[in-house]
Amino acid sequence: MFRGLSAFPLTPTTETDIDEASFRTLVARLAAAGVDSIGALGSTGGYAYLSREQRARAARIAVEAADGVPLVVGIGALRTAQVSALAEDAQKAGASAVLLAPMTYQALTDDEVFGLYEDVSRELSVPLCVYDNPGTTHVHFTDELHARIAHLPNVAAIKIPPLPDAPARAKARVETLRALLPDTVTIGISGDWAAATGLNAGCEAWYSVVGGLFPATALTLTRAAQDGDAARATALSERLEPLWELFRVHGSLRVMSAAAEQLGLTDRPNLPRPLRELPPPAHQKLATALTSLGLTA
């Protein structure tokens, strides 16, 4: 389940709702491209901005459009009771697995974060991926906290933020973390510019934003790393540097939103306010990058 390329599509939105038709198209493209799994309603899928009803509807659409490709559904919310309800909805929709980030408003103690995973994981009948994303949750997982959570029932994977750039340090970091986890729990990388480093360092999965719109490109990089060709994976990632630069400045969500518009796959705007689209100069820079990378169709 949590191995290889997990591609995370946008959930395009209208002013107050989700754009069902565009979302269905985005998911179906990923299934057709042969990704290993699809991650609906991740950070890129704007889960945090949608209502329970919208998320249940998006999960049902994604299961249909995924056409048999394993589907992971994000179930994060601020209140545990809401997370449990979302987990139920995702499972009813037919999700193969769920992804849970510890969203915060009040800062949480480690015991509170653990308690969230304990309360939610015990009710699941599908595997769960722990989503460690300090940039959005402001939770900083210690190794001890990762280990406690990873030993809970149904916990099957951890999605980690970018590793150190230096290959040896990245590998050491993955090995340190792996030593604390049960053998059944995989480690996956996120932060697309760190994907080649992560896969080369031994991560079993790439939770990919760029793969949500350009699955063939992300699959080529993933397969190179899986085949042990670290140099090729690194070169493929370096080629994408114009995209990574935009990701780091504007956030990958805004960049992928603009790219989806440029490809004619969504309307404009397609992000939930207060999020706004890329400023015009960045839009132009993105158009130039996509053309030079041959990513215009």
> Binding to a copy of itself by residue 235, rule CB under 8 A?
no
**Angle, helix 230-239 to helix 215-226, in steps of 10 degrees:** 150
Cis ω for the linkage preceding 102 (within 30 of 0)? no
Of the residues 159, 171, 207, 285, only one is catalytic, namely 159
- Is 49 an active-site residue? no
Per 3-state DSSP, the chain is made up of helix, strand and coil in percentages (nearest 5) of 50, 10, 35
**CA–CA separation, 222 and 182 (whole Å):** 24
**Catalytic residue check, 159:** yes
Site string for a copy of itself, 95-134 (x = CB under 8 A): -------xx-xxxxx-xxx-xx--x---------------
What is the enclosing helix (H) or strand (E) of 151? none
- Min CB(61)–a copy of itself separation in Å: 19
Residue 44 assigned ligand-binding role = yes
Asked whether 213 and 260 are in contact (CB, 8 A), the reply is yes
- Give least dist CB 133 to a copy of itself, A: 10
Out of 19, 64, 82, 220, point to the residue binding a copy of itself (CB under 8 A).
82
**Angle of CA points 175, 219, 32, to nearest 5°:** 135
Q: How many residues does the chain have?
A: 297
* Residue from 34, 53, 79, 216 binding a copy of itself (CB under 8 A): 79
Catalytic option among 131, 171, 207, 285: 131
Binding residues for a copy of itself, per CB under 8 A? Answer: 15-16, 43, 48-51, 78-82, 102-103, 105-109, 111-113, 115-116, 119, 135-136, 138, 251, 253, 272-276
Q: Please state the residue numbers annotated as binding site for pyruvate.
A: 44
The residues carrying an active-site annotation are 131, 159
